[in-house]
């Protein structure tokens, strides 16, 4: 019965906000309009389509609001006008009582709240669809905030997700756009995201790692998690006192250097993505604050680490090279990198793809660099690549959305912000370090124990291959030769890499002491290693 009432509510909202106009297919549009006519819920079509969708989601409640926020992070699926409007969704709901909050805290910590906190503010600092936050003071006098998952929210989520899946299945079955957008998969991904947000221990772990990554940096501060008071259902963390990044007037009054502040936002983004490969993927203005203690050297503070992103090692490398190639307007290299990375099929015509990329990028680069949005250019580039059957990975989509947020925020603070000039030296330095002798040495050192473990297995592999070759009939000779070639490639690759590693290692002063300064050892080992890698 609850499902039926909820379904009626959805139909009513869809009709009053005329969301039927989103449907272009005649077949499904007629069915939807007939349903709306039967329930008599047609409304007047007012406002843009994005605004009407946003209002409808806000009326349907917290879970649909969160879904709209997720859609706003998918510019690969949602048109820009709708994505922009959905980004305005405010995840604010009436708070539940402080008594219920205390009950949840005491159940999670197995004790009285007065035994764990000397002070507890019964007025919430924030109240959202998933969780609520209150201020408190620990027994040792430390100011903290307590975050608790909203009671009963899991059941509500399950009910609404089921209805979303039914709706997505219906649209995907009868709509061309539904099939193209993979709506069922989008809703399924959303289910995973929102249920993961229910586990506050996961958010705490993300925050702890992000804090660790910036422990030696003065540009980003992440609140400390008090693990002795935290669990799956409760998160206790250091309380921060800072200015919201959106409070431009206060930042101005305190003499903040907006140029440095905006450029540090770009630096933080690229540091997270390339140096740490672990980035905050929900960096909207509500999650970002500024420490104004030192106006000429401001520090960012980030909260709410529920959604984080990372890339594969290959995607990291190709993304860095792509951005540099775009900056240098080397469109053929951009096309080749897309193909080499596997983002675009290997049988794609490089010439055709290059022409398509040039058509998108070249008009953009006719403007001054500080007017060119790196994030929007990435969106346009990925849209072009999708016409060549590009399958974008979730990590790249999160990266794209985060860059849009960071760049947009930076330009609000300092309109002349040039992210290209800030990014270029960082990316060039990252690539140099990654593939310098020291960087290669570091990678070889990480893999060396695995190679050493596999090394004794190579002679038996060769022996088995030879034995198998002697016992096979003439009809299997081709397979034997293939097996031998494969075995030799494995052996030469591993041996070559091992010798290259020895050559590099013995070239370093601290290792030369061990090898009695025999420089010829490093030269000989390195040369033999390279030869084995080439002949394989």
Q: What is the mean pLDDT of the chain?
A: 79
**First and final C-alpha spacing in the chain:** 68
Is residue 529 within 8 Å of 498, Cβ to Cβ? Answer: yes
478: left (phi over 0), alpha (psi -120 to 50) or beta: alpha
Assess whether pLDDT exceeds 90 at residue 187.
no
Active site residue 177: no
User: How large a percentage of the chain has pLDDT more than 90?
Assistant: 31
What number is the average pLDDT over the span 1-28? 67
pLDDT-wise least confident of 144-153, 291-300, 428-437: 428-437
Question: What element of type H or E holds 127?
Answer: strand 126-127
User: What are the counts of helices (DSSP H) followed by strands (DSSP E) for the chain?
Assistant: 24, 11
What Cα–Cα distance (Å) separates residue 20 from each residue in 23, 168, 504? 6, 14, 66
Residues 3, 321: Cα–Cα separation, whole Å: 50
Token pair, residue 193, equals 């995201």
Question: What element of type H or E holds 412?
Answer: helix 394-413
* Helix locations, 328-364, DSSP H: 331-341, 350-364
Assess whether pLDDT exceeds 80 at residue 238.
yes
Q: Which of 76, 160, 233, 282 is catalytic?
A: 282
Assess whether pLDDT exceeds 60 at residue 332.
yes
Residues 149, 200: Cα–Cα separation, whole Å: 8
Assess whether pLDDT exceeds 70 at residue 536.
no
**pLDDT tens digits for 467-503?**
665 555 444 555 545 555 555 555 555 555 555 555 5
Q: What residues contact 388, with CB distance under 8 A and at least 6 apart?
A: 344, 345, 348, 352, 353, 356
Delimit the domains of the chain by residue range: 2-90+156-169, 309-434, 437-535
Question: What element of type H or E holds 309?
Answer: strand 308-309
């Amino acid at each position: 019965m609850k499902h039926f009432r909820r379904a009626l509510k959805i139909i009513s909202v869809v009709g009053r906000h005329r969301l039927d106009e989103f449907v272009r297919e005649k077949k499904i549009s007629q069915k939807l309009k007939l349903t709306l006519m039967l329930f008599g819920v047609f409304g007047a079509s007012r406002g843009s389509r994005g605004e009407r969708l946003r209002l409808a989601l806000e009326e349907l409640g917290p879970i649909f609001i969160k879904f709209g926020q997720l859609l706003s992070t998918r510019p690969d699926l949602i048109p820009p006008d709708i994505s922009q409007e959905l980004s305005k969704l405010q995840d604010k709901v009436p708070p539940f009582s402080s008594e219920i909050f205390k009950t949840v805290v005491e159940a999670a910590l197995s004790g009285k709240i007065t035994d764990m906190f000397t002070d507890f503010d019964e007025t919430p600092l924030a109240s959202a669809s998933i969780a609520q936050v209150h201020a408190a003071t620990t027994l040792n006098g430390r100011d903290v905030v307590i975050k608790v998952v909203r009671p009963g929210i899991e059941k509500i989520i399950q009910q609404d997700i089921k209805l979303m899946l039914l709706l997505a299945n219906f649209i995907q079955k009868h709509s061309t756009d539904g099939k193209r957008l993979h709506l069922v998969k989008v809703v399924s991904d959303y289910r995973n995201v929102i249920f993961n947000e229910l586990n506050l221990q996961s958010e705490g772990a993300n925050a702890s790692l992000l804090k660790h990554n910036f422990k030696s940096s003065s540009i980003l501060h992440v609140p400390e998690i008090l693990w002795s008071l935290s669990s799956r259902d409760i998160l206790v963390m250091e309380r921060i006192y800072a200015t919201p990044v959106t409070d431009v007037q206060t930042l101005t009054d305190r003499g903040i250097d907006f140029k440095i502040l905006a450029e540090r936002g770009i630096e933080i983004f690229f540091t997270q993505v390339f140096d740490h490969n672990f980035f905050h993927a929900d960096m909207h203005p509500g999650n970002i604050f500024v420490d104004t203690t030192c106006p000429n050297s401001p520090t960012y503070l980030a909260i709410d680490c529920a959604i984080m992103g990372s890339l594969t090692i290959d995607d990291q490398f190709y993304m860095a090279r792509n951005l540099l190639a775009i900056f240098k307007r080397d469109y053929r290299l951009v096309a080749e990198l897309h193909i080499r990375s596997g983002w675009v099929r290997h049988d794609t015509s490089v010439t055709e793809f290059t022409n398509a990329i040039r058509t998108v990028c070249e008009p953009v680069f006719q403007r001054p660099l500080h007017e060119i949005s790196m994030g929007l250019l990435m969106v346009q580039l990925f849209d072009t690549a999708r016409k060549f059957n590009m399958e974008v990975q979730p990590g790249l989509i999160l990266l794209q959305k985060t860059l849009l947020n960071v760049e947009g925020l930076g330009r609000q603070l300092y309109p002349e912000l040039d992210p290209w000039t800030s990014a270029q030296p960082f990316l060039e330095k990252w690539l140099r370090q990654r593939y310098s002798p020291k960087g290669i040495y570091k990678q070889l050192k990480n893999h060396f124990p695995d190679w050493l473990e596999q090394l004794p297995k190579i002679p038996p592999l060769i022996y088995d291959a030879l034995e198998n070759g002697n016992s096979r009939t003439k009809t299997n000779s081709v397979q034997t030769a293939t097996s031998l070639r494969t075995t030799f490639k494995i052996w030469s690759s591993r041996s070559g890499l091992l010798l290259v590693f020895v050559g590099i290692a013995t070239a370093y002063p601290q290792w030369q002491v061990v090898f009695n300064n025999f420089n010829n050892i490093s030269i000989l080992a390195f040369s033999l290693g390279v030869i084995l890698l080439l002949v394989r």
